[in-house]
Structure 1
Amino acid sequence: MTAIADILLPIFALIGAGWGLVRAGVLIPADARPLSAYVMNIALPALLCGAIARRDLADVLHPGYLLVFAAAGLASMALAYAAFRLRGQDRARAATAGMGASCPNSGFVGFPIMLLVFPDHAAMILALNFMVENFLLIPVALMALELSRPQGQRPLWRVVAGLILSVLRRPLVIGLLLGLVLSLLRIDLPAPVLRLLDLAAASAGAVALVVIGVGLAGLRLTGDRAASGAIALGKLVVHPLLAVGLLALLPLLGLPVPQGALAIALVLSTAMPMFSVYPIFVQEYGTAGLASVSVLLGTLASAVTLGVALALLI
C-alpha cells in the first residue's frame, strides 16, 4: 500500500498544484494551452528523439506490445461506439465515446507514472504507445467522427489525406520518427545535442501534470453526466480489462504478446484516463461538452482506479 501511495501521491499532488494555482489566481485556465503546447511540441518530442536514438531499434520495436495495445484500443472504441448507438445516440456522440474510451493520456499521466514504476523503460513505453495512438487509434476515431457528418460534405479521400498530413506534422511524431531513423542508421548525436534533449525532456513529466490540474480547474460538471460517466467507465475499466483478456487469449492463437514488465506497463497504459486534448479533437462535431465532462470524471476517478490497478499488478 505504501508503494502505491509513493507512486500516486506525487502524481496527483502536482495535478492538485495546477488546480490550486488557478484557484489562487496565479494562473488562469487559459494558461493550460501554452503550457500544454510546450509539453507536446518541445518536451515530449525531445524526450522521444533522445531516448530512441540511444537504443538499438530491436530494443524499441516490440511487435507483441504494439499488437495488444492496438487491439485493445480498437476493441474498446468499437464497444463504446456500439453501446452509444444502441442507446439511440447519434453518430457524432457515439464516435466521441469511442475516442474517449480508447485513447489514454500516455503523455501527461502515463509517462510520469511510468517514470516512477519503470524508470528505465518509461521513454520506450511512451514511444510504443504513441506509435499506436498517433498512427492508428486517433486517426480511426477521427475518421468515425468525420463520417458522422452529412454524406457528401467532404470526399473520403480528402479526409484520409488530411488525417495523414496532420499526423506527420505533429512534433511528437516528428521526434519519434527522427529517433527511429537515428537508431536505424546508428547515428550518434553529439554530446551537447543529447544534453539539450535531456534538459527539455526532464521538464516533461512535472509540467504535464500541472497542465492537467490547470485544465481541470476550468472544467465544470455541466452536461450529460450519465453519458460522460459511461465513457469514463469504458476508459478506466473496460479498456484495461480488454488488454488483460488479449494478453491471455492471443498466445493461444500463436500470436506474440509482451511478457513481464512490458505486459504490466501495457495494462497500466490502458488504465490511464483519456487524453486531455480530447475535447479539442471533437469540438467541431458539437460534442466538446460531453468530452470535457468525461475528462473531468475520468481524471478524478483514475485516482482510485489506478490505485487498484497498481495494487493488482505490482
Structure 2
Amino acid sequence: MLEILAITFPIFALVALGYGSVRFGAFQPSDMRALGLFVMNVALPALLFNAVAERSLTETLSPAYLSVFLAGGLATIVVTWLWHTARGTGPARKAIAVMGSTCPNSGYVGYPLMLLLLPEQAGLILAMNLVVENFVLIPLTLLLLEGSRPRDGAGLWSRLSALFWGVIRRPMVLGLIAGVAVSLAGLSLPSGFTRLLDLLAQSTGAIALFVIGGSLVGLPIKGNRSLAAEIVAGKLLVHPALTALALVFLPLATGLPLINPDLQMAVILSAAMPMFGIYALLAQDYGHEGIASLALLGATAGAFFTLTGLLAILS
C-alpha cells in the first residue's frame, strides 16, 4: 500500500498545494488561468508532438487500446443517458451528467499519474486518450448539450461542422497532428529542438496539477447534491467498470488482440480520472454550473481514494 501511496500522494498533494496557494492568497485566480493557458497551448502540444514525432505510427497507436477506451466511453454515455432518462432528469442536466461521467481529465491528472506509473509510455497513452476524447467523446457530449437548447435555426450539419473545426483548432490537437505528419514523413528532428520539447514536456505534470487545485477555489457549490453525487459515481466508478468490461469482452466479440498488461492497467485508470477541468465552465452556459462544480470538486477529491484502490487491485 505504501508503494501505491507513493504514486497517488504526490499527484493529489500538488492539487492540494495549488488549492491552498490560491485559497490563502499566494496566487490569484488569474494566475491559474495564465498557467493553464501555458499548459494547454504550449506544454501539452509540445509533449504530444514529441511523443509521436520520433516514433512510427505502428509503435505509437494501439488499435486494441483505442477500441477499448472508445467502447468504455460510448458505453458510459449510453448507460448514464438511460439512467438519467429513467429518473426523469431534464434534458440539459441529463446532458451535463453524461458529459461529467464520460470525459476524463487525461491531460492534467491522467498524464502526471502515468508519468509516475509508466514513464516510458505516458506520452503515448496521453496521445491515444486525447484522440478518442477530442474526436469522439467530447463532441458527442457537446452535441447532447446543444440538443438540450431551444432550436435556434442552426441545422445539424452546421453544428457538426462547428464542433469539428473547434476540435481541429485546439493547440493539443494541432501538436498531435504535426507529430503524426513528422512521423509519416520519416523526418529526424535536430537534437536542440528535441531538447527544447523535452524541457516543455517535463514542465507539464507539476504545473497542470497545481492549476487543477488552484482552479477549484471559488467554484460555485450550490446545486442538486444528489445529481452531483451520481455524476461523481458515474465518473469514478461506472466509467472504469464499463471500460474494464470492454477490455474483457471486446477482444472476444471482435477478434482484436489483447493489449499488454501495462496498457490494460492504463486504459482502466484513464477512465477512472475525474472529469476535465473546463466541465463547470461548459455547464455555466446552460445555467447548471453549481451542479458541475459540486461534481468536479467531489470527483477530484474522491479520485484520491478510488485511484488508490484501483492501483491496489490492478498492481
Alpha-carbon separation, structure 2, partners of 1:220 and 1:151? 28
Alpha-carbon separation, structure 1, partners of 2:169 and 2:251? 36
C-alpha displacement of 1:220: 4.4
C-alpha displacement of 1:152: 4.6
Give the 5 Å matches for 1:232-251: 232-251=232-251
Q: Deviations over 1:177-234 (max 9, x none)?
A: 1111111111111112111111111110000000011011222432111101100100
Give aligned-pair identity as a percent.
Answer: 47
Work out whether residues 235 and 274 of structure 2, in 8 Å CA contact, stay in contact via their aligned partners in 1: yes
Work out whether residues 236 and 302 of structure 1, in 8 Å CA contact, stay in contact via their aligned partners in 2: yes
Q: What TM-score comes out, normalization by structure 1 length?
A: 0.97
Aligned to 2:311: 310
User: What SS does structure 1 have at the residue aligned with 2:89?
Assistant: coil
Alpha-carbon separation, structure 2, partners of 1:237 and 1:145? 23
Work out whether residues 221 and 291 of structure 2, in 8 Å CA contact, stay in contact via their aligned partners in 1: no
Work out whether residues 82 and 94 of structure 1, in 8 Å CA contact, stay in contact via their aligned partners in 2: no
After superposition, the Cα gap between the structure-2 partners of 1:220 and 1:149, relative to the gap in structure 1 and judged at 3 Å, is closer
Greater alpha carbon shift after TM alignment, 34-43 vs 108-117? 34-43
Aligned to 1:67: 67
Q: Deviations over 1:228-255 (max 9, x none)?
A: 1100100000001001111111122133
The answer to whether the aligner puts 1:144 opposite 2:125 as a matched pair is no
Which residue identity does 1:32 align to in structure 2? M
User: What SS does structure 1 have at the residue aligned with 2:102?
Assistant: coil
Give the 5 Å matches for 1:51-130: 51-130=51-130
Alpha-carbon separation, structure 1, partners of 2:25 and 2:153? 44
Work out whether residues 56 and 183 of structure 1, in 8 Å CA contact, stay in contact via their aligned partners in 2: yes
After superposition, the Cα gap between the structure-2 partners of 1:271 and 1:92, relative to the gap in structure 1 and judged at 3 Å, is same
Unaligned runs of 5+ in 1: none
Aligned to 2:266: 265
Greater alpha carbon shift after TM alignment, 202-211 vs 185-194? 185-194
Aligned to 1:230: 230
C-alpha displacement of 1:115: 0.4
Aligned to 2:17: 17
Work out whether residues 95 and 145 of structure 2, in 8 Å CA contact, stay in contact via their aligned partners in 1: yes
Q: Deviations over 1:26-70 (max 9, x none)?
A: 112343222111111110000000111111110111111111101
Unaligned runs of 5+ in 2: none
Alpha-carbon separation, structure 2, partners of 1:306 and 1:67? 22
Alpha-carbon separation, structure 2, partners of 1:56 and 1:162? 31
C-alpha displacement of 1:24: 2.2
Alpha-carbon separation, structure 2, partners of 1:152 and 1:43? 37
Greater alpha carbon shift after TM alignment, 34-43 vs 106-115? 34-43
User: What SS does structure 1 have at the residue aligned with 2:216?
Assistant: helix
Alpha-carbon separation, structure 1, partners of 2:46 and 2:114? 17
User: What SS does structure 1 have at the residue aligned with 2:149?
Assistant: coil
Aligned to 2:278: 277
Alpha-carbon separation, structure 2, partners of 1:162 and 1:126? 25
Q: Deviations over 1:3-29 (max 9, x none)?
A: 111101111111111011112211123
Greater alpha carbon shift after TM alignment, 149-158 vs 40-49? 149-158
User: What SS does structure 1 have at the residue aligned with 2:221?
Assistant: coil
Aligned to 1:287: 288
Alpha-carbon separation, structure 2, partners of 1:254 and 1:211? 41
